[in-house]
């Protein structure tokens, strides 16, 4: 099964740590990062898709962050 996650956070080092942690657990970058201005909170937001090959069949009960 190929698993997919979209990591999001404010544009701070916390976002970079979130992506780095996913990469260290075997996730791979998928596409380019995205940035958008969140006018409601007055901050920039980041998003990065990641994928990972995982054993087993897909189920909505899978905790993607635990793969």
- pLDDT of 4 reads 97
For strands 28-38 and 43-53, give the pairing.
Answer: antiparallel
- pLDDT of 1 reads 94
- Which tens digit of pLDDT belongs to each residue from 11-50? 999 999 999 999 999 999 999 999 999 999 999 999 999 9
Is 66 inside a domain boundary?
A: no
- pLDDT of 60 reads 92
Is 62 inside a domain boundary?
A: no
Counting beta carbons within 10 angstroms of the beta carbon of residue 37, is it exposed (0 to 12), middle (13 to 18) or buried (19 or more)? exposed
Is 47 inside a domain boundary?
A: yes
In angstroms, the CA 23 to CA 47 distance is 14
Asked if the model's pLDDT at residue 65 lies above 90, the reply is: no
- pLDDT of 23 reads 97
Number of folded domains that form the chain: 1
User: Where in the sequence is the domain holding 40, given as residue range(s)?
Assistant: 2-55
Residues 6+ apart with CB under 8 A from 55: 1
- pLDDT of 39 reads 96
């Amino acid at each position: 099964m190929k698993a997919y996650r979209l990591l999001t956070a404010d544009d701070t080092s916390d976002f970079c740590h979130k992506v780095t942690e996913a990469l260290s657990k075997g996730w791979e970058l998928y596409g380019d990062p995205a940035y958008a201005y969140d006018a409601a909170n007055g901050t920039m937001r980041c998003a990065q898709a990641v994928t990972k090959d995982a054993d087993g069949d897909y189920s909505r009960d899978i905790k993607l962050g635990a793969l």
